[in-house]
Structure 1
C-alpha cells in the first residue's frame, strides 16, 4: 500500500506531498500555497483521488472507485 501522494492545487498549481490516512477518506484539504479549500470532484471519494498522484488507501485496498459509505 502506498501512503504518500502528491497533491496539486487546481487553482494555483502548488504541489505538496502528503501522507494519507489509512482508515478514512479525506474530503477536504486546504492548499498550502493559496489557501483554497479543495473538495473531491464529482464521482471521487476524496481529495487524494481527485488531485493526488495516488488513490487513497481505502480505494487501493478495495479496488473500488469510491470509498464505502461516501455516496452523498
Structure 2
C-alpha cells in the first residue's frame, strides 16, 4: 500500500487551505493556521490534525495501525 504524505489542511475557523507534508515519525496534535492564527487541535476521536482537517489521514491510520496518540 502506498502511503501518501501530502494533505491539504482546511482551517475550520476561516476556511484557509494549505498543503502540508505530514511527519512520518510523530502525529501532529497542534497546527497554527497561517491566515487567522487559530491553533487547531484534533476533533475528539481523531488522532491528529490531519485526520480531523486534512484531505488525507496520517500515515499510521493509512496503514491501519494505531495512532501515536
The answer to whether TM tops 0.5 is yes
CA RMSD across the alignment: 1.1
Question: Where in structure 1 do 4 or more consecutive aligned residues deviate above 2 Å?
Answer: none
Counterpart residue number, 2:67: 67
1: CA distance between counterparts of 2:67 and 2:50?
12
| TM-score normalized by the length of structure 1 | 0.87
Task: Identify unmatched segments of 5+ residues in structure 2.
Answer: none
| TM-score normalized by the length of structure 2 | 0.91
Task: Identify unmatched segments of 5+ residues in structure 1.
Answer: none
